[in-house]
A and B are shown apart, each in its own frame.
Chain A
Amino acid sequence: MNKSISKNESRRRFFRFIGKFGTIVFLLIMITFFSIMKPRAFATVRNLLNVLNQSSLLIIIACGLTAVVIIGDFDMSVAITASFSGVLVTGLMVKQNLPIWFAIICTIAICALCGMINGLIVTKLRVSSVIATIGTGGIIFGLNYAYTSGSPIVTGIPKGFLNMTLIRLFGKIPINIIYMAVIVFILWIILNRTELGQRIQAVGGNSVATKLSGINVDSIKITSYIFSSVCGGITGILLSSVIGSGNSTAADSYLMNSFAAIFLGSATLKDGEFHILGTLIGVIIINIGFNGLAIFGMSNYVQYIFQGAILVCAVALSSISRIYANK
């Protein structure tokens, strides 16, 4: 009998641990493995900074999208908004001759407006979020083409705008990492340490009970959509500065990667809850994997197989663990 209690209890502890830290353990194993196998190419400060740099833009857009996923909705327009924002910011500078700072502000404001419209459609017209944002995504994509007639904006972009993402702090740390860190920090504070953040989380948990606690659920939802679009917009602006052009499909691939990171993140540290820190770790897991595989000389398609497989395995492992941890 004594044996059975220790067996049961230790089994439960094991599954509780796997459910929360499984993905992190996997990240550490991956880092250790790559470091041992390719110490010169992988385990250098430079390479790791490089991975973080490459992850920065995806982290920003994915963390913004996390706000919408937390309330239980999906924003399928976020990557198209990001592409649009890259075109818009360069276009405003090149075609409308606006100064850099003003072009950036206008672009972010327009992205915020897109988010607000998404939120209004979902809350006031009661269209389900996937349908609403696929619809607005289509409209934004069309506007994007109308603005550029499909050809990317390449020439005449001010040097200052391109330099915005080229600076290295202390000659070493790419500035994008700093942008990313600041935005993630702000989002984390908002979601975890402000009244608005508590309300966003409450809506995600139970919107009926939230409403009956005297909270205006609709305006909370709209705010979440604005976060998502604005972060998408920032990613789009930075991306256009990095690639040096305004390209109308540049950020489209961020959509699936963001969702992959968000769901990986929900299996990290918390019991299937979506959260900013998890999303951040999710992106890093995906990109460390990509980077390591690339160093091994694997071709692109292996990396996609890796991303798909790790996502399914991690989420399955954590949800199964949760069942056994509570038996």
Chain B
Amino acid sequence: MENNKGMTISIKGLTKAFAGVKALDNVNLDIVAGKVHGLIGANGAGKSTLIKILAGVYQPDYGEILIDGNPVQILNPGVADSLGLSFIHQELNMVPDFNVIENIMLGLKKERKFGLLDWKATANKIIPVLVQVGFNKSPFTPIKEVSVAEQWLVAIAKALYKDVKLIAMDEPTAALSESEVERLFSIIQDLSRRGIGVIYVSHRLDEVIKICDEITVFKDGLLTLHEKTANLTKVEIITAIAGRKVEEFEHINFNYEKGEVLLDVKNLYDENKIKGVSFSLKKGEVLGLAGLVGSGRTELIMTLFGARKRKAGTIIFDGKEFTPNHPKDAVIRGIALVPENRREEGLITNKTLNFNINLPALSVLRNIKSLPFISMKKSSSITTKAIDKFMIKTNGVNSPILNLSGGNQQKVVIGKWLECNPKLIIMDEPTQGVDVGARAEIYKLIRSMSKEGISFLIVSSDVEELPILCDRVIVMANGQFTGELQSCAISKEEILHLSYAEPVQQYIYEQGRQ
């Protein structure tokens, strides 16, 4: 990258309103070359809106953007690209049938030979970047065969591949596990050393504190804090985000009653990813499932939920044999799923908040029990209840689901199961993209529901989260269990250690049953 002279982007008086509600309110901010700039704030604070304005996706109502003192009009993403701005947006936008390289090159200038696209030369340029971000599959794999976390690595590679002066990353690590995050951080440090500006958006505060030189906090569209990271404490940052003191969610020593076994899985196999998994889960227990990306965690819970084919093994649920062949079998028995990828698997994206919240439990909306007609009044009152319970920020029950910010969409994916009265809730990365305040609320909710006897099986790559939340954590590697940690022994170091360990299956099973 030739441009050694870094550039400064100045944002002056930027304002953007959606349907009268201000997503950004008179924001002034300088983003300096070679600095990592942390952008944080509660769900719906306006972070993604700011980034989308820089990317030319939205046009501001007021205000201007200056690059090295010259005003620029970013009318569309093409302009942003030619100005040397590069983006990792909060939502992946990949073409499922295209391969990794084609997805990276979407909209970029490609290598040509005799006027034809030269994919080989292009691949040769891209492969080093893919290796750098830790993507290990063939670059010719179709994106639909690549896991969500790996798709994020591809999105990162796409942003790095171009000659850029500024990279804005909107929650790039929400789906990544510790080791990929480490790798991304070393890339970011390298970028800033080369004089490239980085905007980094995340709800994982430890990451932000670690990697960012300065921090800007947004609250309801207003810039409320701008300071060098070194001058701030974590508590100060949290207070600025939430606008109040949030009690740190400490690990409680849960001496919960060892109740009956709710779920008992024995020697479960699927076609290729799960190789003999056995465990049990008690009523009211919160069980964590840790491991690296690709270790088979998502495949395991999808198999339990009936969304993947089982090959062998028995499952006992709630005292009876359970053979899930379709997710509806699981839902009928009282199992709920919060999937990993909210836009593809969790939400009906062209519908409203109200529609999405009520989808799994439509029969609750009946006015007359024996007739399948639904009551619109009941449906909005249920939605209103969920909005209050999860503090969902929205313009109303009927606002389109895509107009909600990413974190608020995540709350909808959890909230839609409340009316089903599930016995077991399976969650895959439940707090991805959720802000500190709401995260504490979700933790509290999980805790109080588990006291009522609801069990949880939680896949999480956030190693800060598992120790706080879980009674017990099982670690997976290569489709098998490598170890188990009981409440007090759950720690970031132990989880990481076990993520690379050899399988010790039987031992875990016996432990779990005691």
- Say if A and B assemble together: yes
Which residues of A come within 8 Å of B, CB atoms?
Answer: 1, 4-5, 8-9, 189, 193-196, 198-199, 201-202, 204-206, 208-216, 273, 327
Given A193-B373, A194-B374, A212-B346, do A205 and B307 touch, yes or no (CB 8 Å)? no
Q: Is B326 an interface residue (CB 8 A)?
A: yes
- Cα–Cα, bound, A201→B348 (Å): 9
Shortest Cβ gap from A261 to chain B (Å): 21
Inter-chain contacts of B58 with A (CB < 8 A) = 327
- Give, as a whole number of angstroms, the nearest-CB distance from A185 to chain B: 14
Report the stretch among B315-323, B357-365, B472-480 that lies at the interface. B357-365
Interchain CA distance A201-B416 in the complex, whole Å: 17
The 8 closest A-B pairs by CB, nearest first: A214-B331, A205-B348, A195-B362, A5-B61, A213-B360, A214-B328, A205-B350, A195-B372
Known contacts A198-B359, A202-B359, A205-B351; A212/B307 CB under 8 A: yes
Most buried by B among A189, A193, A195, A209: A209
B10 at the interface (CB under 8 A from A): no
Min CB distance A115 to B, Å, is 20
Contact A213 B372 (CB under 8 A): no
A206 touches B374 (CB 8 A): no
B415 interface residue (CB < 8 Å to A): no
Q: Please, which residues of chain B bring their CB within 8 A of the CB of A214?
A: 327-328, 330-332, 360
CB distance from B96 to the nearest CB of A (A): 11
User: Are A9 and B355 in contact, CB atoms less than 8 angstroms apart?
Assistant: no
Chain A residue with minimal CB distance to B335? A214
Which among A5, A189, A195, A202 is the interface contact of B348 at CB below 8 angstroms? A202
Closest residue of B by beta carbon distance from A215: B328
B350-389 near A? 1/0 per residue, CB < 8 Å: 1100010011101101100000111010000000000000
- Whether A195 lies near B61 (C-beta < 8 A) is no
Q: Please, how many angstroms separate the alpha-carbon atoms of A9 and B351 in the complex? A: 24
Main secondary structure on chain A at its contact with chain B?
A: helix
Min distance, Cβ B62 to any Cβ of chain A, angstroms: 5
Check if B62 sits within 8 Å of A208, measured CB to CB: no
- Residues from chain B with a CB closer than 8 A to the CB of A205 are 348-351
A198-B355, A215-B328 are known contacts. Are A210 and B372 too (CB-CB below 8 A)? Answer: no
- Asked whether, in the complex, the Cβ of A206 is within 8 Å of the Cβ of B327, the reply is no
- Counting CB contacts under 8 A, is B339 at the interface? yes
A-B CB pair tally, cutoff 8 Å: 89
What's the Cα separation between A1 and B177 when bound, in Å? 45
In the bound complex, CA of A202 to CA of B305 (Å): 20
Supplied contacts A206-B348, A206-B350, 11 more A-B pairs, CB within 8 Å: A1-B62, A4-B62, A194-B373, A194-B374, A195-B363, A204-B350, A206-B344, A210-B359, A212-B339, A214-B327, A214-B328
**Please, could you name 10 A-B residue pairs with CB atoms under 8 Å apart, sorted by A?**
A8-B61, A9-B17, A193-B374, A193-B376, A194-B372, A194-B373, A198-B362, A212-B305, A213-B331, A214-B332
Contact with A along B393-409 (1 / 0, CB 8 A): 00000000000000000
Residues from chain A with Cβ under 8 Å of B351 in the complex: 201-202, 205
Q: Once bound together, how far apart are the Cα atoms of A205 and B401, in whole Å?
A: 12
Query: Once the chains bind, are A213 and B327 in contact (CB under 8 Å)?
Result: yes
**Distance from A171 Cβ to chain B, minimum over Cβ atoms (Å):** 36
B75: nearest chain-A partner, CB-CB: A327
| B380 vs chain A, min Cβ distance (A) | 14
Q: In angstroms, how far is the closest chain B Cβ from the Cβ of A73?
A: 16
Residues in A neighbouring B372, C-beta threshold 8 A: 194-196
Q: Note all chain B residues with C-beta closer than 8 A to A195.
A: 362-363, 365-366, 372, 374
Contacts of A194 in B (CB 8 A): 372-374
B54 within 8 A of A: no
Partner of A273 from the list B326, B330, B350, B362 (CB cut-off 8 Å) is: B350
With a 10 A CB-CB cut-off, give which of A9, A189, A195, A196 has the most chain B CB atoms: A195
Contacts of B374 in A (CB 8 A): 193-195, 198
B490 in the interface, Cβ–Cβ < 8 Å?
no
Minimal beta-carbon separation of A9 from chain B (angstroms): 7
Which residue, B348, B355, B363, has most C-beta atoms of chain A within 10 A?
Answer: B348
Q: Is the CB of A9 within 8 A of B61?
A: yes
Tell me if B345 and A212 are in contact (CB < 8 A): yes
A327 to B58, CA, bound (A): 5
Is A212's CB under 8 angstroms from B15's CB?
no
| Distance in angstroms between the alpha carbons of A212 and B360 in the assembled complex | 9
Find residues 474-498 in chain B having any chain A CB closer than 8 Å to their own CB.
none
Q: Which residues of A contact B349 (CB under 8 A)?
A: 205-206
Tell me if B337 is interfacial: C-beta within 8 Å of chain A: yes
Task: List the B side residues contacting A9 at CB < 8 Å.
Answer: 17, 61
Q: Is B347 an interface residue (CB 8 A)?
A: yes
Interface string of B401-439 (1 = CB under 8 A from A): 000000000000000100000000000000000000000
Residues of B with C-beta under 8 A to A215: 327-328, 359
**B327, A212: Cβ atoms under 8 Å?**
yes
Known: A201-B351, A212-B339. A5 touches B15 (CB 8 A): yes
